[in-house]
Amino acid sequence: MTVAGPHFERAPICNDQPSILYAWGRNAPELHLPEGVGFKVGGQTNIQYLVLQVHYKGQLGPDYSGLSIESTVEPLTKRASTLLMVTGGKLPPNKRETFETACIVDEDIEIHPFAFRTHTHRHGEMVSGWVVRENEFGQNVWELIGERSPLLPQMFQSVNKNITIRQGDVVAARCVLNNKEDKEFTMGNTSDDEMCNYYLMYWVLGDPAHLAAVKYHAAKLNGTSSSTRKASDGVFDTRRGDNTCYSPGPPEYHWTSEAELNNIPKV
């Protein structure tokens, strides 16, 4: 349980590292996976349990919370997974701030995004995701995966267009938050905190032993680095089961300095 204040005993969602499959909020419509796409669970996979977590803001009436899942034992041609892109950081009082994270695909595999979801708390204005590549002149080319206001129904929305992400590409996400209050907010899990989340749902062809491994590092796209930050500070690796791309957020982390990205889309 995660609540504001010390009144309840707290515990992690899972004893081991969790991996987010799906999330929903704000009365969004249901999700239907593309034909032939499914999440592989149980057996020899790293997903041995399905855990449902529900966040409550207030009592609204009888509680019928739940999730309906369709399952099959027949093999599917496309295996799905969800990458969570998330930041830490602080939102200063009376300031509009950007929260950014970026990971580089380190695995020789093709990733096909098909849906995305955005999430912040009440200060969010826009959450966007891109795939970033470097052209022959050393300029970054940003291809929009999808963006959405986090204050709209928090659904998994179809991506902007068909995109294939390959080894060496960077996946990047940005949240724009606007704090008009006279107090600072920290990224956290309770309603008294803020959040910056971008969920990217994708499929890969076949049934590889692992789906992808994406490392975050303060580096140029050509792989050089001027930072001493460890690659393990932000790792997206389904072999570990976390599937998370993390940055510490502002004031410590920004694309221009830590990730050395350029030609960044304007807010």
Specify if 115 maps to a domain: yes
- DSSP secondary structure letter of residue 56: -
Lowest mean pLDDT of 106-110, 184-188, 223-227, name the range: 223-227
Domain count, the chain: 1
Is residue 187 assigned to a domain? Answer: yes
The pLDDT of residue 46: 76
210 is in an annotated binding site: no
Q: Is residue 8 part of a domain?
A: no
Prediction pTM value: 0.80
Tell me, what CATH number does 172's domain have? Answer: 2.60.120.230
259 versus 12: which is more confidently predicted? 259
pLDDT of residue 228: 30
Phi, psi of 161 (to 5 degrees): -165, 170
Q: Does the residue 244 lie in any domain?
A: yes
Determine if residue 55 is labeled as part of a ligand binding site: yes
- Tens digits of residue pLDDT in 174-207: 999 999 999 999 999 888 999 999 999 999 998 7
140 strand-pairing partners: 134
Domain that holds residue 217: 37-259
Arithmetic mean of pLDDT, 32-48: 86
- Closest Cα partner for 248 from 230, 237, 234? 234
**Of 198, 184, 31, 226, nearest to 103 (Cα)?**
198
63 occurs within a structural domain: yes
**pLDDT class of 5 with cuts at 50, 70, 90:** low
Q: Is residue 29 part of a domain?
A: no
Per the annotation, does 85 bind a ligand?
no
If 0-12 CB within 10 Å is exposed, 13-18 middle and 19+ buried, where does residue 101 land?
buried
Q: Cis check for the bond before 251: say yes or no (omega within 30 of 0).
A: yes
Q: Is residue 25 part of a domain?
A: no
> What does pLDDT average to over the chain?
82
**What would the two tokens of residue 88 be?**
């830490």
126 is in an annotated binding site: no
pLDDT of 234 above 80: no
